[in-house]
């Protein structure tokens, strides 16, 4: 026979898992010091500049 499940409990468990996933993403995004954010931003700007330097401008 199939296992009997309580739909209310299953729905709440799913909501808890989604909330934990959101919390984990927020801890990664917002749980950094100002210095860590500055380093990441500087690395991103450098990568963007390097990419822009390699682009070829089409002739009009």
Q: Does position 1 have pLDDT exceeding 80, yes or no?
A: no
Q: What is the pTM of this model?
A: 0.50
State mean pLDDT over 24-40. Answer: 91
Q: Which position has the token pair 């500049």?
A: 49
Q: Which residues contact 40 (CB under 8 A, 6 or more apart)?
A: 32
Enumerate the H helices of 1-60 as residue ranges.
Answer: 7-30, 34-53
The pLDDT of residue 59 = 74
**Confidence band for 60, pLDDT divided at 50, 70 and 90:** low
| Residue 4 in this model has a pLDDT that exceeds 70 | yes
Asked if residue 29 has pLDDT above 90, the reply is no
Distance (Å) of CA 18 to CA 1, 15, 25, 28, 57: 30, 5, 11, 16, 45
């Amino acid at each position: 026979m199939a296992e009997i499940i309580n739909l209310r409990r299953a729905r709440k468990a799913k909501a808890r898992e989604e909330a934990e996933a959101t919390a984990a993403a927020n801890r990664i995004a917002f749980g950094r010091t100002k210095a860590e954010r500055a380093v990441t931003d500087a690395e991103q700007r450098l990568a963007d500049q390097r990419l822009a330097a390699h682009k070829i401008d089409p002739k009009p």
